[in-house]
Structures are given as C-alpha cells and as structure tokens.
C-alpha cells in the first residue's frame, strides 16, 4: 500500500504486512464542543486502521487529547481544568456516535507532563533550547532542516509567539511560566508553569509508539507551525520520529474553511442529530482525503440519497456483472482513494452484489458498530434490522409499548434479539443462535 507523504511530496510505500504500522493523529483541543470538520482526521484514521487490519497489518493507532492549551485558558479563565474535563467528555460522546470504535490509545497532555519536562531538559542539555524568565524556548536557528515540511524559508519566517525575552523571534515555546489567573500549572526546573502545545504531541506520540513510527496525521492546518515544530524537537534529540506525514484536506462551508474563529463551524453533534452517522460517513467518502470538501445541505442531502440507495440494494437480485473485490482493494491501497472505492460500492449496489457491498460498507463502519455495546455485531446485519431497532427505540420513547413489542417480534423473525442499553443508540442486537 502507498500513501502520499507531505514531507517528501510524493507517494511512499508502506512496509509489507504484517508491518507493524504505528500511527499518531493529532486529536481534539478540548475547549468547546467539536465541530464536524474536527471529525475528519478522526474518521480518516479509524478508516485507515480498519483497512490496514483487513489487509493483514498489525496496527496501533494513537489519537491524543490536548487538554493543556492557550485556547482552554482563554475560554475559561480560572476554570480551565473543568472546561477541559467537560469538553473531553463531549468529544468522546460525539465521536462514539460515529460508530467506528475508539483508537488503541488516547493519551492526554496532562498525564504526560513529566515526559514533556524530561524532553525539554534534554533539549536544553543539547543546546537546542534555553530558559528565559521562567519560559523555555526552542532555538529554531539550530535546526537546519526547519521549514522542510511546510516549504518555508528560515530567513522569511514570521514570529510565532511574540516575546521580547526570546533570543530569536522565530523561536517557539516549550514551557510557559504560570500567569496570573491560570488555575492549573506544574512544578518544573524552571518554576511553575505548563508545557507548550508542540512538545505535548512529541512526548505523547513517542511515549506510546516509540521514537520512530510509520505515520503521523492531522489536518492540513497543522503543517505549520505545529508539525514543523514537532519534527524539530524530536529530531534535535536524534529521534527519527514519523516516517510518513498524512495531512487531510479541510472541510469547507460556503467556500471558507470551517473554523470556530470564523464562526462558520457546525457541531458534530448537530450534524449527527440531523443527518445520522451513515450519511455523514458516506459524505466524507465522496472526497479524497487530501482534498478540501464542501459541506452544505445540498451535499449532505446527496449523501443521504446515496445511503438510501445502498439500503435498497438488499432488495435487488439482478446480480449483473460488476467490479471484483480486487478493484476495491486496489483503490484503497493507492493513496486510500475513497471516491474510487465509493464508485465501486455503487457498482455492487446496482448489480445486486450484496455480499461484496456488505464487505465494502463494513470497511467504513457504515453497516455495523465496532463496539459490542452498540449497534450490530460485525458481519451479521442487514439494514432492515437496524432500521426496525431504531423504530422500536422511538416507539419506546413515546411510550407506545404495543408498537415496540410488535417491532421486537419483527426483529426476532429476522434472526436477532434486541436488548435495551444505556449507550447510544440505546439498543444492542444479538443474533439468535
């Protein structure tokens, strides 16, 4: 399998199965409810993990939670810890509803502060960093390859974080001294304070994947300065760090990138409430992961129509000629080309190739849930069962127990027992032996 690498600006081959493939994707900064654009790297990484595992790879996926950040302190002066805890819970709730399961490890910045302090001390010892007034800065000028990822020239870079105490305006913070009104801080060799954003990800990724791993991912907006700085920090310690850099295109709304700062963000929770997870996942399939994708009522309605067409496929029995599984496999192994894979899914739908279609949809979590506590068990479903279970849950919510009992019987006739649970979507379907 090959993937596009931002650093080399070309397609690179992954090692053959079983690998291993170790992946780190930058996750949510927890200062507000996540918007639908934030979900793109989460979905991409979970899809890629599923496909690699189906292809015979040993995969470990780490997605972090950034719970120490200027945005959190600014959003909740004096109450940053509470906001971070609340927003972390919202993030887990919302991404659980995508039905793709969880990453293998989800470290937080807070729990890895000791690891970050150790890395900063080592950078100071090597002369790659320096302390100034309780802050610690990385010496950008000491790392000759700085700017290679983002294709920026060192002598043309602007200051990242203005501070007159810096030796060089281009230097970036590894540690920030505690400021009045900040409610959380940690002891360090340079006084009480907190780590900078960039050192957090270097420490979290290396703690769980080692100093060399196969894939680092995140949104295109993270290339500079975040990922550029991660490379500088880790490689200044002689760590190889990430071999391949995946940067997904940004979700756009009315022609602009979706950002909280622009006020054009739409909460993931609201999208799932309105359209459902299958429509959202299928919408994300329509664009190549490296390209921008336009979110609108029109594009979501088109995705909803596509999903309905897949549901209808289970009623088709024509079994006309269509693409083989190898074509689907080739599409995903060639830079994870989901639009091409989606076109093959539609071929199978039109031809009534329900077994192939079922296998393909399950790659993207469109038929079943990974978790045993929600949805349908892997490899056991038809959409009708899931639809009936949702209708039964709705009947129970309006206290129409007669209708709920009728639907329970209909589900049983299709070979499933339905159990009520607290987790989303409120039921569990178990095949009847």
- What pLDDT score was predicted for residue 372? 30
DSSP state of 142: G
Q: Is residue 66 predicted with pLDDT exceeding 60?
A: yes
The backbone torsions φ and ψ at residue 35, rounded to the nearest 5 degrees and listed phi first, read: -95, 170
**Phi and psi based region of residue 277 (left: phi greater than 0; alpha: psi -120 to 50; beta: remaining):** alpha
Q: What is the structure's pLDDT at 319?
A: 59
Q: What's 336's DSSP letter?
A: -
User: Quick one: how far is CA 312 from the chain centroid?
Assistant: 30
For residue 433, with 0-12 CB atoms within 10 Å meaning exposed, 13-18 middle and 19 or more buried, which class applies?
exposed
Instruction: Give the pLDDT confidence of 8-20 residue by residue, as tens digits.
Output: 999 999 999 999 9
- Distance (Å) of CA 150 to CA 144, 219, 224, 228, 378: 14, 13, 6, 7, 41
Peptide bond preceding 433: is omega within 30 degrees of 0, i.e. cis? no
* Whole-angstrom distance, CA of residue 200 vs CA of residue 210: 15
Neighbour-count burial for 370-402, b at 16+ CB within 10 Å, e otherwise: beeebbbeeeebbbebbebbebbbebbeeeeee
Residue 107 backbone class (left: φ over 0; alpha: ψ -120 to 50; beta: rest): beta
For residue range 156-175, list pLDDT tens digits in order: 787 778 888 899 999 999 99
The pLDDT tens digits of the residues spanning 338-386 come to 999 999 998 888 888 888 999 999 999 998 543 332 333 333 344 456 6
Please tell me the predicted confidence (pLDDT) of residue 370.
32
116 or 164, greater pLDDT: 116
**What is the tens place of the pLDDT at every residue in 222-263?**
999 999 999 999 999 999 999 999 999 999 987 778 776 667
Geometric angle at alpha carbon 251, from 35 and 376, rounded to 5°: 65
Distance CA 243, CA 149 (A): 12
CA distance 389 to 407: 7
Find out whether 394 and 405 touch, Cβ atoms under 8 Å: no
Whether the bond between 136 and the residue before it is cis, its omega within 30 degrees of 0, is: no
Q: For position 320, what pLDDT does the model report?
A: 66
How many whole angstroms separate alpha carbon 26 and alpha carbon 217?
Answer: 6
Q: What is the pLDDT of residue 433?
A: 57
pLDDT-based confidence at 420, cuts 50/70/90? Answer: confident
Q: How many CB atoms lie within 10 A of CB 345?
A: 28
Q: Please state, in angstroms and rounded to a whole number, the distance separating the CA atoms of residues 162 and 153.
A: 19
Burial (CB count <10 Å: 0-12, 13-18, 19+), residue 430: middle
Instruction: Please tell me the predicted confidence (pLDDT) of residue 373.
Output: 29
Asked if 250 contacts 220 with a C-beta cutoff of 8 angstroms, the reply is yes
Radius of gyration of the chain (CA): 24
Residues in the chain: 433
Which range has the worst mean pLDDT, 61-75, 141-155, 406-420?
Answer: 406-420
| Alpha-carbon gap, residue 407 to 396, rounded angstroms | 10
Does residue 97 register a pLDDT over 60?
Answer: yes
Helix (H) or strand (E) holding 253: strand 251-253
Reduced to 3 states, what is the DSSP secondary structure of residue 245?
strand
Q: Which of 300, 310, 194, 294 is nearest to 254 (CA)?
A: 294
> Where are the strands (E) in 45-162, listed by range?
59-63, 129-132, 135-138
How many Cα neighbours within 13 Å face the side chain of 163?
19
Q: Rounded to the nearest 10 degrees, how much is the dihedral formed by the CA atoms of 184, 188, 191, 197?
A: -60
Average pLDDT score over residue span 27-39: 95
Is the separation of the CB atoms in 109 and 67 below 8 Å?
Answer: yes
Q: Which of 125-139, 161-175, 309-323 has the highest mean pLDDT?
A: 125-139
Residue 106's φ and ψ, nearest 5 degrees, are -130, 75
Query: Cα separation of 73 and 35, whole Å?
Result: 19
Average pLDDT of the chain to the nearest whole number: 89
Q: What's residue 1's pLDDT?
A: 95
Q: Which residue has the higher pLDDT, 174 or 395?
A: 174
How much of the chain exceeds pLDDT 70, in percent? 90
Could you give the angle at the alpha carbon of 285 between the alpha carbons of 284 and 287, nearest 5°?
80
């Amino acid at each position: 399998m090959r993937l596009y690498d931002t650093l080399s600006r070309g397609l690179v081959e992954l090692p053959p199965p079983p690998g291993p493939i170790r992946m780190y994707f930058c996750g949510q900064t927890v200062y507000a409810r996540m918007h639908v654009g934030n979900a793109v790297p989460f979905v991409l990484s979970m899809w890629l993990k599923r496909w690699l595992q189906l292809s015979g790879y040993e995969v470990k996926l780490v997605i972090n939670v950034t719970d120490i950040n200027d945005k959190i302190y600014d959003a909740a002066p004096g109450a940053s810890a509470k906001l971070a805890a609340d927003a972390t819970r919202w993030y887990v709730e919302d991404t659980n509803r995508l039905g793709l399961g969880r990453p293998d490890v989800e470290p937080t910045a807070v729990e890895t502060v000791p690891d970050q302090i150790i890395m900063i001390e080592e950078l100071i010892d090597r002369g790659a960093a320096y302390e100034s007034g309780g802050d610690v800065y990385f010496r950008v000028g000491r790392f000759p390859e700085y700017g290679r990822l983002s294709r920026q020239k060192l002598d043309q870079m602007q200051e990242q974080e203005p501070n007159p105490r810096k030796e060089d305006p281009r230097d970036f913070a590894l540690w920030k001294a505690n400021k009045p009104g900040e409610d959380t801080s940690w002891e360090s060799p340079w006084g009480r304070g907190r780590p900078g954003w960039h050192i957090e990800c270097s420490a979290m990724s290396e703690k769980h994947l080692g100093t060399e791993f196969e894939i680092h991912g995140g949104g295109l907006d993270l290339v500079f300065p975040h990922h550029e700085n991660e490379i500088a920090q880790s490689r200044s310690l002689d760590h190889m760090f990430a071999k391949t850099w995946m940067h997904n295109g940004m979700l756009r709304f009315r022609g602009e990138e979706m950002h909280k700062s622009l006020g054009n963000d739409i909460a993931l929770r609201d999208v799932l409430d309105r359209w459902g997870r299958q429509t959202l996942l299928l919408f994300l399939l329509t664009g190549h992961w490296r390209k921008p994708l336009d979110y609108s009522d029109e594009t979501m309605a088109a995705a909803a129509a596509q999903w309905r067409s897949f549901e209808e496929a289970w009623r088709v029995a024509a079994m006309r000629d269509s693409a083989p599984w190898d074509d689907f496999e080739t599409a995903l192994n060639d830079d994870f080309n989901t639009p091409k894979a989606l076109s093959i899914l539609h071929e199978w739908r039109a031809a009534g190739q329900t077994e192939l279609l079922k296998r393909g949809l399950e790659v993207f979590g469109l038929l079943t849930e990974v978790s045993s506590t929600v949805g349908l068990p892997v490899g056991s479903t038809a959409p009708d069962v899931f639809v009936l279970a949702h209708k039964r849950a709705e009947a129970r919510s309006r206290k129409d127990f007669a209708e709920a009992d009728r639907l329970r019987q209909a589900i049983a006739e299709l070979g499933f027992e339905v159990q009520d649970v607290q987790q989303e979507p409120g039921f569990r379907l178990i095949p009847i032996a």
